Structure 1
Amino acid sequence: MGVGLSILIGIKSASLFIIFAYLRTLGFTLLSIPILYASLISLLVSLASHPSINLPMLLGKNTDGSFPIWSLIMFSPYLYFVRAFSALRRLKSREQPYTEIVEGVYVGGWPSSPEKMPPGKPAVVDCTCELPRVCSGYGNGYLCVPTWDTRSPDPGGIEAAVRWACRKRTQNVPIFVHCAYGHGRSVAVMCALLVALGVVDDWKNAEKLIKEKRPYIRMNALHRKALEEWSKNRLSSPKAGSNTRY
């Protein structure tokens, strides 16, 4: 269940290893070494992102959204691959970089430039472990909930993000929850946030509301399982009268 990223990166690792072996047979030993390294890093990421292990801290992303030098060097084959892939996918996509779900509450993809940020200097909940904080426009706060692509923040991470965002909303600060594309990880957190803000009664109705506004979202079984567990054990209570219910 939900092994998408592990399989994808595992296939990438195997493909790179085949290229490495082929180059070795042709006598290109020096040229093949970086290919082997990229293959091994991909294998490590594939294992660490498997649901049974789920270790997003492997990449070393700091709480301020930056990556230490050792991580940028060690995991460069993966980190720069996902940045390039994200940029290319965004270029081909017709989807807006972010969507306003209710007034002042946005969900979307990685803001690779200031133009990709919602208006009003929002407080940002970053649900990625693989993409850096590149914009300086986080004037009202930044919270990182590091999560692998196709995985979900755990219920505790969802609760922490929701409580942080709710505090910001009481100060009338806009909220922007993002992952790589605004389809999975960020949507899971947004579902919980809409419940906590009193916009909807449960996360299933929240998902329907978000899908009406951002049709290409696609939560998987891991996202829904985490939301079910969060719903049963959550500490954050709905904010009375905060928004019109849907």
Structure 2
Amino acid sequence: MGAVHGCYLKYVGLSLTSWAVASLVYGSPTDITRRDLTNSTGFGVGVGNNEPPLWRFLCGTALYYSASINGFIAVLFKARRFAWLLGKDSKRGTIPFWSYCIFAPFHVPTVLYTFVHCRQMKKKGIPFASEVCSGWYIGGRYSNLLRKHWSCVIDLTVEFPELCWSQTETYYHVPLWDGNPPSIEWIEAAARVATANKEKGKVLVHCAHGVGRSTTVMCACLVKAGEFKTWEEAFEACKLERKCIKLNQGMKKALSLWQKAYV
């Protein structure tokens, strides 16, 4: 989920794996319903076909549910639609309990992967957030661990609650699936908010890993602030300070269209 290319494929993989395991071990969804639910005799200990019917029903259903949820999320990633579906509050950056319940097969692997990946980046010398220009920071989910006070935080995630809420004066949320570029209108709005608050102090633009989504908006912020003439120049400058940043073709196109329309 930290890559900017083909992020949806991770969820395609999770979906196919869940479906394959469920099919091989427990049979088709119809088999599970007819065989295990209708013939349920109670709980017990066992594996595969040796499990009591109710356990087979619950385990098989959980795997098929995981396959369905992750397949559905992958479609939304690819379509670049309905980023609000997870229910994240755009005013406070919180995610409701019902979202964790309904979308657990998405949330759990996303949280685990991001936790591991961000710490691997840290071991390689890439901080949770990097100052790419004076007072301008690109970061990831764990930017709060820097324990800085921000005049403004631009949050580009939908999959995580905001951890910097208590550390910032202004919070602005742009809901994006991982690897998706923001619209030029979102880019402009975020850049305006960030530059308006820059005089008050440090500005953090963050996504999950501080690689793609955050870099896209940061490039626009630096151009809007007059630090660079083009987003390409801004990107090269950011790359010097945070070597892990990347932009996919969609992000580059969005920045070029934004630059043509607003600069």
What number of residue pairs does the alignment pair up?
230
User: Hey, what does 1:127 align to over in structure 2?
Assistant: 156
The normalised TM-score by structure 1 is 0.88
Deviation of 1:138 (Å): 3.0
CA distance in 2, matches of 1:169, 1:39: 44
User: Hey, what does 2:130 align to over in structure 1?
Assistant: 99
CA distance in 2, matches of 1:122, 1:34: 44
What is the one-letter code of the residue matched to 1:128?
A: T
Indicate whether 1:72 and 2:100 are aligned. Answer: yes
Question: Per-residue CA shift, 1:118-153, capped at 9, x if unaligned?
Answer: x23341100111111134433311111111111111
CA distance in 2, matches of 1:86, 1:139: 23
- The answer to which structure has the higher helix fraction is 2
User: Hey, what does 1:115 align to over in structure 2?
Assistant: 145
Is the Cα–Cα contact under 8 Å of residues 108 and 177 in structure 1 kept in the other structure?
yes
The verdict on how the C-alpha distance between 1:89 and 1:53 changes in structure 2, with shifts beyond 3 A counting, is closer
Indicate whether 1:5 and 2:32 are aligned. Answer: no
User: Hey, what does 2:83 align to over in structure 1?
Assistant: 56
What is the one-letter code of the residue matched to 1:102?
A: C
Is the Cα–Cα contact under 8 Å of residues 41 and 75 in structure 1 kept in the other structure?
yes
Is the Cα–Cα contact under 8 Å of residues 57 and 146 in structure 1 kept in the other structure?
yes
Pairwise mapping of residues 1-246 of structure 1 onto structure 2 (< 5 A)?
4-25=6-27, 26-27=48-49, 28-50=56-78, 52-63=79-90, 64-93=92-121, 94=124, 95-111=126-142, 114-117=144-147, 119-170=148-199, 172-234=200-262
SS of equivalent to 2:138? strand
Identity %: 28
CA distance in 2, matches of 1:85, 1:162: 29
Question: Per-residue CA shift, 1:35-93, capped at 9, x if unaligned?
Answer: 1111111011011111x343211222111211122212111111122111100112222
Is the Cα–Cα contact under 8 Å of residues 128 and 145 in structure 2 kept in the other structure?
no
Question: Per-residue CA shift, 1:193-241, capped at 9, x if unaligned?
Answer: 000010000000001000011111111101101101111112xx6xxxx
Stretches of structure 2 that go unaligned for 5 or more consecutive residues are 28-47, 50-55
Stretches of structure 1 that go unaligned for 5 or more consecutive residues are 238-246
Deviation of 1:111 (Å): 2.2
Post-superposition, which runs of at least 4 consecutive aligned residues in structure 1 deviate over 4 A?
Answer: none
The normalised TM-score by structure 2 is 0.82
Q: Which has the larger radius of gyration?
A: 2
